[in-house]
């Protein structure tokens, strides 16, 4: 017995004996319906686009069910608007006419609900007929996917046929199968459009972007990353930062820890050295954030090549270092000028600097304060350039007038240095190096906390060096006498911590002045 589709009588069997049992006929009808469904699925599978797939579905249905014409409408995202997607055997305007006829006939539920409508010339039910001459039977069935309507299939016959129950079951089954196929094709098409849009945006970003899984392996990279490294996209997939790191330039354990923290929701920012396809190493700045990539939890890394910035930083650093050296050499030259005018105090500023720096280290001052002390000590007596040479080298005691002239040198030193843009307050340190805690110093009579740390250290080092060394008006008093002097005035004239540091440097560290 062979199943066939017959116009006007639906799915039926061709007799090979005098009679066919009822259950045998039902089996043949099911087999015939299955054959039509298989043809619909196969036809849709051959199509390379959604529009072509719908055309193949329509053609397979018309051939398998022996209808003469038909059309498919798709339901748009608003759930109300139906758009003709394809038609066969109809004049160009027929699909739109049928759509309007169904709507005007009060059967719009056909196009938005899940009910089927069948009409044929044999019984003329109260239902719309095609508004086209020569067409006498119509079936409209919903195309559904998971109970959600995606469109409507309408088939039409010219013959005076009945649409049998078997036809109806087959058409409804085609509606369900075709609806699922169309929904999947629409989803695939939407995904392709989404992926194309994503890829366009992804590659348009000039920064390098890497999508990494929990193991750090690259899932995807953009054009910026490919340009940065010189590899194509396929080369990256499955690799990790370990494979692209410049040897010996990165802490890889710290890198993986940063990746774990990013997965935990903590954005990470750090520098990383990569190795290009040509083997050259380069630095890049990395930003890691948690994200999703087509439903997968990932870390999205954005990288910027900072080679030029590093080069500029190095040039700036080198320039600053040259400037610093030039400034220090200028300061040293200033000190030499003073010493040349006063041969009896030659080396005084250099030795004060030695002691002051040793005291600063004993006090564990910050390195920037140590550097400030070094420069300030080197020029703390620069103001003596304005003192007449005969006063500086006078072998006897100074008169009151002469001493008042000597006392101007801190102010003169300040005036000379204040216009120089030192990194530290060198001019103020020089100005206050003869101030005393009780206010008895000069030139401003500052006291207590008004005297800066650097000035307090220089004051003690200056007194100790002066007393321990030879002067035109007296012999050297020695280091022990000098230490006794500052100890006796500890906390009164001189800063207690500075005095303690000075004593410790000499007694504990065996400090001695250079000759």
Rounded Cα distance between 403 and 434, Å, is 13
Q: Which of 289, 305, 321 is the last residue of a domain?
A: 305
- Contacts with 113 (C-beta within 8 Å, 6 or more apart), sequence order: 142, 149
Q: Which domain holds residue 167?
A: 2-192
Per-residue confidence (pLDDT) for residue 438, from 0 to 100: 95
Confidence of residue 126 (pLDDT cuts 50, 70, 90): very low
User: Domain total for the chain?
Assistant: 3
Confidence of residue 283 (pLDDT cuts 50, 70, 90): very high
CB of 202 closer than 8 Å to CB of 45? no
Rounded Cα distance between 456 and 496, Å, is 9
Q: Give start and end residues of each alpha helix (H) in 342-425.
A: 348-362, 367-378, 389-392, 400-406, 409-417
Residues 282 and 377 reside in one and the same domain: no
Residues 224 and 353 reside in one and the same domain: no
Does the residue 514 lie in any domain? no
pTM: 0.47
Closest CA to 142 of 92, 101, 185, 183: 183
Closest CA to 67 of 211, 143, 145, 174: 174
Per-residue confidence (pLDDT) for residue 220, from 0 to 100: 92
CA angle 253, 257, 262 (to 5 degrees): 150
Residues 492 and 413 reside in one and the same domain: yes
Residues 81 and 228 reside in one and the same domain: no
CATH number of domain containing 485: 1.10.3210.10
- 56: tokens are 């193949």
More confident residue, 320 or 369: 369
Closest CA to 417 of 382, 454, 449, 389: 382
Rounded Cα distance between 120 and 492, Å, is 120
Side-chain half-sphere CA neighbours of 360 within 13 A: 26
Per-residue confidence (pLDDT) for residue 5, from 0 to 100: 32
Per-residue confidence (pLDDT) for residue 6, from 0 to 100: 32
Rounded Cα distance between 483 and 181, Å, is 99
Does the residue 198 lie in any domain? no
Rounded Cα distance between 289 and 53, Å, is 41
CATH number of domain containing 290: 3.30.450.20
CATH number of domain containing 52: 3.30.450.40
Residues 98 and 185 reside in one and the same domain: yes
Residues 362 and 223 reside in one and the same domain: no
Side by side, the strands of the sheet bearing 208-212 are 218-221, 208-212, 296-305, 281-293, 268-275
Residues 278 and 156 reside in one and the same domain: no
Q: Which of 305, 336, 356 is the last residue of a domain?
A: 305
How does the average pLDDT of the chain come out, rounded? 83
Confidence of residue 346 (pLDDT cuts 50, 70, 90): low
Does the residue 515 lie in any domain? no
Does the residue 200 lie in any domain? no
Residues 165 and 61 reside in one and the same domain: yes
Does the residue 39 lie in any domain? yes
Residues 458 and 318 reside in one and the same domain: yes
Residues 320 and 296 reside in one and the same domain: no
Tens of pLDDT, residue by residue over 198-238, are 777 788 888 999 999 988 999 999 999 999 999 999 999 88
Instruction: Name the phi and psi angles at 119, rounded to 5.
Output: -145, 135
Does the residue 223 lie in any domain? yes
Confidence of residue 26 (pLDDT cuts 50, 70, 90): low
Closest CA to 73 of 139, 143, 135: 143
Q: Which of 171, 192, 213 is the last residue of a domain?
A: 192
């Amino acid at each position: 017995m062979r199943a066939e589709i017959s116009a006007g009588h639906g799915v039926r069997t061709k007799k090979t004996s005098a009679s066919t049992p009822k259950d045998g006929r039902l089996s043949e009808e099911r087999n015939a319906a299955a054959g039509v469904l298989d043809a619909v699925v196969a036809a849709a599978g051959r199509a390379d686009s959604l529009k072509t797939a719908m055309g193949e579905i329509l053609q397979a249905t018309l051939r398998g069910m022996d209808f003469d014409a038909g059309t498919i409408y798709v339901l748009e995202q608003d759930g109300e608007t139906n758009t003709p997607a394809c038609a066969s055997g109809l004049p160009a305007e027929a699909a739109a006419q049928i759509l309007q006829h169904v709507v005007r006939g009060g059967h719009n539920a056909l196009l938005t609900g899940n009910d089927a409508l069948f009409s044929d010339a044999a019984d003329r039910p109260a239902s719309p007929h095609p508004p086209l001459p020569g067409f006498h039977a119509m079936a409209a069935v919903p195309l559904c996917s998971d109970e959600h309507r995606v469109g409507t299939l309408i088939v039409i016959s010219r013959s005076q046929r009945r649409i049998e129950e078997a036809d109806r079951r087959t058409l409804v089954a085609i509606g369900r199968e075709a609806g699922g196929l169309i929904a999947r094709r629409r989803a695939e098409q939407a995904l392709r459009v989404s992926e194309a849009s994503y890829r366009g945006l992804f590659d348009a970003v000039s920064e390098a972007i890497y999508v990494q899984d929990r193991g750090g392996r690259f899932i995807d990279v953009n054009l910026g990353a490919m340009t940065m490294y010189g590899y194509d996209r396929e080369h990256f997939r499955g690799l990790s930062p370990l494979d692209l790191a410049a040897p010996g330039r990165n802490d890889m354990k710290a890198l993986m820890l940063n990746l774990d923290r990013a997965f935990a929701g903590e954005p990470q920012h750090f520098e990383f050295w990569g190795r290009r396809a040509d083997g050259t190493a380069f630095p890049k700045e990395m930003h890691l954030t948690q994200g999703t990539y087509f439903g997968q939890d990932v870390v999205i890394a954005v990288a910027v090549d900072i080679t030029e910035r590093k080069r500029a930083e190095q040039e700036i650093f080198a320039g600053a270092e040259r400037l610093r050296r030039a400034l220090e050499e200028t300061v040293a030259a200033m000190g030499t000028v003073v010493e040349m005018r006063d041969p009896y105090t030659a080396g005084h500023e250099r030795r004060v600097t030695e002691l002051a720096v040793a005291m600063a280290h004993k006090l564990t001052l910050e390195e920037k304060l140590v550097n400030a002390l070094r420069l300030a000590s080197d020029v703390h007596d620069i103001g003596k350039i304005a003192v007449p040479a005969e006063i500086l080298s006078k072998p006897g005691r100074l008169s009151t007038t002469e001493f008042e002239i000597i006392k101007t040198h801190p102010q003169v030193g300040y005036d000379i240095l204040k216009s120089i843009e030192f990194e530290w307050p060198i001019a103020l340190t020089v100005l206050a190096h003869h101030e005393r805690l009780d206010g008895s110093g000069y030139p401003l009579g500052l006291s207590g906390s008004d005297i800066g740390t650097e000035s307090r250290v220089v004051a003690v080092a200056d007194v100790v060096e002066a007393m321990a060394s030879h002067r035109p008006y007296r012999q050297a008093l020695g280091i022990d006498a000098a230490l006794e002097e500052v100890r006796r005035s500890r906390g009164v004239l001189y800063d207690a911590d500075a005095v303690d540091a000075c004593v410790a440097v000499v007694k504990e560290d065996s400090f001695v002045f250079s000759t």
